[in-house]
């Protein structure tokens, strides 16, 4: 065999590519590093959340021991309770104990209700989840088409309406809109149910399966209770949906304007494609992936930001629970609720990032 022949055999051909396994291995290693980086970021964020809540619990001008033993306890009783709660130990030991309890789902016992905080949160969280989910759904159904049409008709009346709605949604206080909504739609027109999640007539009549009242009443086939639950939730959910709509429509419009000015859109129009296909089949398809992040952030914001809405409408959710326990100086309940809401927000961000990478190969 000549040197030339040997050299030809050494060259990688179509069926013999020694570089491909290396590239596949490098690609798998990069994916593993990205997954590891995401998980590490999640762990550090949750650790930071635990550190912040722990510090808040220690610097608040509320004595948790005094809340338990009362004002008339003797110094010996006070000290015994303090030792039982582990508050006599160094801060680093207290934090380690606190972190271990939280990771086991133990947030302590609520002074206000006498129940474990985890049990209280399981009871009130579905109400907030249902309210925020319906509000986000309203924001998506109205906000996305509104943003697309506003961008497609830039400077037109639809664009002006979308911009005014977004401006009002960002500037008008939510508590004022809630009070005005109750006054007009409940007090004057009687179109919706009043404060609360359900009339007292239906309270406890439907077995709880999911904790989401609309779903539970539908599963039970009690349509009278379903209509009553819907009449109570539609106003606060519509209010939250309006704020979600303002954010989603503004971001959708911004994404669409960027796509509609791209060269491939000009090419599609030159080829004679119908405008509807250009907008929805080409431009909108390219913004669908970043919209996932926008919707996830909007949903997380409604979960953590529905406190005022729940107070105004006497909605028995996690926002009302945290507020009432804070006024009562019940720090176990306040910190437990804060951790749950923060963990939900972090998880939603993680899921949106994962979906973004799965649906957009360019992000991998």
Domain ranges, ordered by start, for the chain:
34-103, 117-363
pLDDT surpasses 80 at 361: no
- Model confidence at 27, pLDDT cuts 50, 70, 90, reads low
* Selected residue with higher pLDDT from 345 and 39: 345
pLDDT (average), residues 174-180: 89
pLDDT tens for residues 267-281? Answer: 888 888 888 888 988
- Model confidence at 360, pLDDT cuts 50, 70, 90, reads low
3-class SS at 16? strand
Share of the chain above pLDDT 90, in %: 29
- Model confidence at 239, pLDDT cuts 50, 70, 90, reads very high
H or E, element range at 214? helix 213-220
Name the phi and psi angles at 116, rounded to 5.
Answer: -60, 140
Share of the chain above pLDDT 70, in %: 88
Work out the angle at residue 13's Cα, subtended by the Cα atoms of residues 8 and 18, and round it to the nearest 5 degrees: 100
> Which structure tokens are listed for 290?
């970043």
- Model confidence at 101, pLDDT cuts 50, 70, 90, reads confident
pLDDT (average), residues 87-98: 84
pLDDT surpasses 50 at 240: yes
Whether the CA torsion 223, 226, 232, 236 is positive or negative: it is negative
pLDDT for 136: 93
pLDDT for 14: 45
pLDDT surpasses 80 at 234: yes
- Model confidence at 81, pLDDT cuts 50, 70, 90, reads confident
pLDDT surpasses 70 at 340: yes
pLDDT for 145: 94
- Model confidence at 130, pLDDT cuts 50, 70, 90, reads very high
pLDDT (average), residues 153-173: 88
pLDDT for 22: 54
6-15, 169-178, 219-228, 329-338: least confidently modelled range: 6-15
Name the phi and psi angles at 109, rounded to 5.
Answer: -110, 135
Q: Burial letters for 195-233: b for 16+ Cβ neighbours within 10 Å, e otherwise?
A: eebbeeebeeebeeeeebbbebbeeeebeebbebbbbbb
> What is the rounded distance in angstroms from the CA atom of residue 350 to the CA atom of residue 46?
12
Q: Which residue has the tokens 């160094």?
A: 90
pLDDT (average), residues 67-88: 78
> Which structure tokens are listed for 53?
């809540």
- Model confidence at 297, pLDDT cuts 50, 70, 90, reads confident
Chain Cα centroid distance, residue 305: 9
What single-letter DSSP state applies at residue 70?
Answer: -
pLDDT for 112: 81
3-class SS at 294? helix
> Which structure tokens are listed for 83?
């030792």
Whether the CA torsion 261, 265, 270, 276 is positive or negative: it is negative
Altogether, the residues listed in the chain come to a count of: 364
pLDDT (average), residues 82-89: 78
- Model confidence at 212, pLDDT cuts 50, 70, 90, reads very high
- Model confidence at 26, pLDDT cuts 50, 70, 90, reads low
Indicate the pTM of the whole model: 0.81
pLDDT surpasses 70 at 30: no
pLDDT for 25: 58
Q: Does domain 117-363 have CATH number 1.10.3720.10?
A: yes
pLDDT (average), residues 136-164: 92
Q: Which residues contact residue 6 at a Cβ distance below 8 angstroms, ignoring those fewer than 6 apart?
A: none
pLDDT (average), residues 11-38: 58
pLDDT for 23: 57
Considering the chain, what is the average pLDDT of its residues?
83
Residue 100: name the closest of 156, 50, 31 by CA: 50
């Amino acid at each position: 065999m000549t040197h030339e022949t040997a050299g030809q055999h050494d060259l990688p051909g179509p069926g013999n590519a020694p570089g491909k396994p290396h590239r596949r291995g490098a690609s798998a290693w990069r994916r593993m590093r990205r997954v590891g980086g995401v998980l590490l970021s999640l762990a550090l964020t949750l650790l930071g959340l635990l550190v912040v809540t722990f510090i808040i619990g220690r610097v608040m001008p509320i004595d948790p021991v005094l809340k338990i033993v009362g004002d008339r306890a003797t110094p010996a009783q006070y000290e015994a309770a303090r030792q039982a709660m582990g508050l006599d130990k160094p801060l680093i030991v207290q934090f380690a104990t606190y972190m271990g309890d939280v990771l086991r789902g133990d947030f302590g016992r609520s002074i206000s209700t006498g129940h474990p905080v985890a049990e209280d949160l399981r009871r009130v969280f579905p109400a907030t989840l249902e309210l925020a989910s319906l509000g986000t759904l309203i924001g998506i159904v109205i906000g996305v088409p509104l943003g697309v049409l506003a961008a497609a008709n830039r400077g037109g009346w639809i664009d002006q309406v979308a911009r005014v709605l977004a401006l009002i949604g960002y500037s008008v206080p939510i508590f004022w809109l809630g009070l005005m909504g109750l006054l007009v739609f409940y007090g004057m027109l009687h179109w919706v149910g009043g404060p609360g999640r359900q009339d007292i007539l239906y309270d406890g009549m439907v077995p709880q399966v999911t904790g989401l009242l609309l779903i539970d009443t539908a599963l039970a086939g009690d349509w009278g209770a379903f209509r009553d639950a819907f009449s109570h939730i539609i106003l606060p959910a519509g209010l939250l949906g309006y704020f979600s709509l303002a954010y989603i429509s503004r971001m959708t419009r911004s994404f669409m304007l960027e796509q509609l000015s791209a060269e491939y859109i000009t090419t599609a129009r030159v080829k004679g494609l119908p405008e509807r296909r250009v907008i929805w089949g080409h431009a909108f398809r390219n913004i669908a992936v970043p919209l996932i992040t926008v919707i996830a952030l909007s949903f997380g914001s409604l979960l953590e930001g529905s406190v005022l809405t729940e107070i105004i409408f006497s909605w028995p959710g996690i926002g009302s629970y945290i507020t009432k326990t804070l006024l009562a100086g019940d720090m176990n309940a306040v910190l437990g609720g804060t951790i749950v809401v923060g963990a939900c927000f972090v998880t939603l961000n993680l899921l949106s990032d994962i979906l973004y990478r799965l649906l957009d190969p360019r992000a991998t």
